[in-house]
A and B are shown apart, each in its own frame.
Chain A
Amino acid sequence: MKRKLNRCILSLMLLVLTVFNSGCWSSREVEDLAIVTLFGIDRITENGVDKWQISSTIMNPGGGVQEGGMNGGNGKGGAQELLFKGTGITLQEAIGNFVDGLARSPFYSHISAVIIGERAAKEDMSSTINNLLRYWENRPHLYIIATRGEAYRVLQARPAISKMLSKEIEMMTEKTSKKLGKSADVTLKRLSADLLSPDRDAVLPQIKLVLPKEEKDTEEGETKQSVLLEGLAVFRGDKLTGWLNADETRGYLFIAEKLSATHIYLPVQLNGQWFSYTIGMSKSKVKPELSGDQLRIRVSIETQGSIMESGNSNMTPEDIDQMEIAAAEAIQELAFKAIDKAKEYDADFLGLMQKLHRSDLTAWEKIKPDWREYFQNADIEVEVKASITNAGQIGAKPQISK
């Protein structure tokens, strides 16, 4: 009997313990959280003092539902995400200043993307990376994006199709921009690994403000801009050094990344007529070779794609061969654009020297102190094999009677 009582008391104590032990001192209830969804980092000058500016959107659960209900609610007061900002001498002070306007405790584990403004990327990338890696709520899978001008402006944009801007940016990064050959997806892990490594430079996707595709004026009559992920930001060492346009970005993607299940629409000219080569997958091989003091790098790109718009080609096997050659030349041209840009910026964001480091250690040891010079003088060849594997539902070009 006494034993039974003891057991009862013990189990009761355990039950009581669970009440106090959920998260210990650090426990936070979900309704007290301000869930940060986007995070912008800027450098600004305020009264002559260089400062950090943090801007961030915070999820406003129920905001859209109350006002707009089922109709999508982007009406006023019903915003799904609220924008806050703060400034400070250090990044942490700026974060503290943005937080003090909130009655809730900020929660950073669900950030969709961190957007870095141009000045911040040019002036102090190492502080930014240091902060992002150090803070425990940040995960290595965080997407990082760069923008021309201030990140704050990007966070003011209006989503074009999603309810939340953060969701839209996340979907663009993860699903569409790389698939369409517009940009790359870079996580905190990849960015910091590239920045830390001694043999290459980093890139970040670029986010732009554009006028929305769908013209939907807000009640005030002003059109808010929406966002687009296009192009890349190039770093040299820890500083942003320049940007890549759409063509150069595609060149980068073909050389440096493995693409699969993409829909990159490449217009190609053959005999004065345009046809469209839709690239579905692409892979590349880089073979660096050091002979004496001359570095030769051979890049071979292999793509597979389909033709859904054949121009005036008749699509006979001979025509296909010709089209493949023309497509290969077009891709080669893009690749050279990226390579020229890399030499112009003196930044090996293509990872070519990293390949040398990994494949030929003795050569790397030799050129290590001035590898940038070797890259600048490297003789880079690009060889493209573009194959057409699919031409849609019909064979030869249908002849429409005149």
Chain B
Amino acid sequence: MKEKISGTQFSMLMFLMITATAILFVPAITAQQSRQSAWIVPLVLPTVAGCVAAGEACILGQRFPGLTLVQYSEVILGKPLGKVFSSSYILFLLILNILVIRELSEFLTIVLLPASPAYILILVTVLLGLFLALKGIEVIARMVQFVLPLFVLTFIFMISLALIDFEFGNLLPLLEGGVMTIVKGSVVPASWYGEIGVITLLLPMINKPQEARSKAVKALLCVAVFLTVDVLVTVAVFGPDLTGVYMFPFWSLAGFVQISRYIERVESFIVLLWLTAIILKITLFFYLSSFATAQLFKLKSYQTAVYPLALLHGIFAIFPALGSIELSEILKRYWPPLGLMFELAIPFLLLVIAIIRKKSLRGGKQ
């Protein structure tokens, strides 16, 4: 592996990858299930799920240092089964990325550019992702280093404006309807936190792989704090009912906040930074899926795989005739089980099989 990123870059990448989607959607999805206690949701169970996903990936990575999931699954499962498994994993990345692209185009058409056809927005996104993915992981990581502070600062700015309208009463009573509502509400965020499972592909690119686990946990804790503040403030300002009604509550929150008539209509900041963040996320998944494809077919460079994948992304983001209601239904109902399967269950299965079959590349064994 020629290209390397540092541990800090890695945790920034992970942070942005998870928060980019969640920041807009998580308040609504959690408030629908857990109402005024929604802010507890991103704090506990999803973080645990994320840590498990990261832990599994790191243990697997340490058994096979320098190899990615695509390579060691062939060692663990044997060549044919390994290939089948890797292809399904790549398909999973592809679907994930297509959903993210659709989220982006959906958001833009609903709140900003109602007259623009979605395919143009998707086309632009895919082309941008293609261009950036060709540049490689180092460039992506550096972009994240540049964008992340701006992203977090804008968020803090928006939240501090919203604190003026913070109504503590909206968060009461705590835990109405029992702990089960929190557990139910945790499923969707857990599948987002679980995206950190892509460490299975990223690990060989980190210059100190032994650091990866602690860096991933740090990133997850930051994500948990970030999203908890996001949900807490949104629910405290809008109340649980209205938060659950809005499709993008954080966007509406940014539209709501104002200081007298001097500071108002600040939501455009969000568009700017959210777009940058989500495009970086798309690029990362673009890169990872092409990288995995290249390893699967033993291509000389991953760049060759980027073009056909871009085509696939474009086609499958544009053509399925899904409306925004269907899309959010998919995200809420069908995506979490699929996501959690590939993020938690399947790496775990691989690990178990590896242990049983005593497959390892560590310390010169095998």
Contact = CB atoms under 8 A, between A and B. Distances in A.
Contacts of B176: 361
A189 B238 contact: yes
Contact of A23 (B113, B117, B172): B113
B301 interface: no
Contact of B115 (A25, A139, A189, A197): A25
Contact of A26 (B114, B252, B255, B265): B114
Nearest to B267: A139
Nearest to B240: A197
Interface string B250-284: 00110110100000110000000000000000000
B117 A25 contact: yes
B353 interface: no
A366 interface: no
B116 A25 contact: yes
B169 interface: yes
Contact of B169 (A26, A141, A189, A358): A358
B113 A24 contact: yes
Nearest to A109: B265
Sorted nearest first, the 8 A-B pairs with minimum C-beta distance are A196-B241, A358-B172, A25-B116, A26-B115, A193-B239, A24-B116, A140-B256, A26-B113
Contacts of A193: 238-239, 241-242
Interface in A357-392: 357-359, 361, 364
B173 interface: yes
Contacts of A24: 113, 115-116, 120-121
Interface string B107-138: 00011111111001100000000000000000
B245 interface: yes
Interface of A: 23-26, 109, 133, 136, 139-141, 187, 189, 192-193, 196-197, 354, 357-359, 361, 364
Given A24-B115, A24-B121, A140-B253, 19 more contacts: A23-B113, A25-B113, A25-B115, A25-B116, A25-B120, A26-B113, A26-B114, A26-B115, A109-B265, A133-B245, A133-B246, A139-B255, A139-B256, A140-B242, A140-B252, A140-B255, A141-B255, A196-B245, A354-B169
A357 B115 contact: no
A331 to B, nearest CB: 23
A136 B115 contact: no
21 contacts: A23-B113, A25-B115, A25-B116, A25-B117, A26-B113, A109-B265, A136-B112, A139-B256, A139-B265, A140-B238, A141-B256, A141-B264, A189-B237, A189-B256, A192-B242, A193-B242, A196-B242, A358-B173, A359-B172, A361-B173, A364-B173
Contacts of B110: 136
A308 B12 CA distance: 62
Interface string B159-195: 0000000000100110010000000000000000000
A26 B116 contact: yes
Contacts of A187: 256
A51 to B, nearest CB: 26
A109 B169 CA distance: 30
Interface of B: 110-117, 120-121, 169, 172-173, 176, 237-239, 241-242, 245-246, 252-253, 255-256, 258, 264-265
Nearest to B242: A193
A144 B111 CA distance: 21
A364 B173 CA distance: 10
B269 to A, nearest CB: 15
Contacts of B173: 357-359, 361, 364
Nearest to B252: A140
A77 B110 CA distance: 38
A50 to B, nearest CB: 27
Contacts of A140: 238, 242, 252-253, 255-256
Nearest to B111: A136
A373 to B, nearest CB: 21
B109 to A, nearest CB: 9
Contacts of A133: 245-246
Contacts of B256: 139-141, 187, 189
A24 B109 CA distance: 11
A136 B113 CA distance: 10
A187 B239 CA distance: 14
Contacts of B121: 24
A133 B172 CA distance: 24
A141 B255 CA distance: 8
Contact of B239 (A23, A26, A197, A361): A197
A24 B255 CA distance: 22
Contacts of B116: 24-26
B60 to A, nearest CB: 43
A141 B238 CA distance: 11
A306 to B, nearest CB: 25
A105 to B, nearest CB: 10
Contacts of B237: 189
Nearest to A361: B173
A189 B120 CA distance: 33
A109 B255 CA distance: 11
A133 B239 CA distance: 15
Contact of B258 (A26, A136, A141, A357): A141
A343 B242 CA distance: 27
B242 A136 contact: no
B135 to A, nearest CB: 15
A330 to B, nearest CB: 28
B98 to A, nearest CB: 21
Most chain B beta-carbon neighbours within 10 Å: one of A136, A140, A187, A192: A140
Contacts of B265: 109, 139
A25 B115 CA distance: 6
Nearest to A356: B173
Contacts of B113: 23-26
Contact of B245 (A192, A357, A358, A359): A192
A197 B241 contact: yes
Contacts of A139: 255-256, 265
A353 to B, nearest CB: 13
A364 B36 CA distance: 15
B253 to A, nearest CB: 8
Contacts of A23: 113
A162 B264 CA distance: 22
Nearest to B110: A136
Contacts of A361: 173, 176
B242 A189 contact: yes
Nearest to A24: B116
A359 B174 CA distance: 10
A321 B302 CA distance: 85
A295 B246 CA distance: 35
Most chain A beta-carbon neighbours within 10 Å: one of B112, B255, B258, B265: B255
Nearest to A351: B169
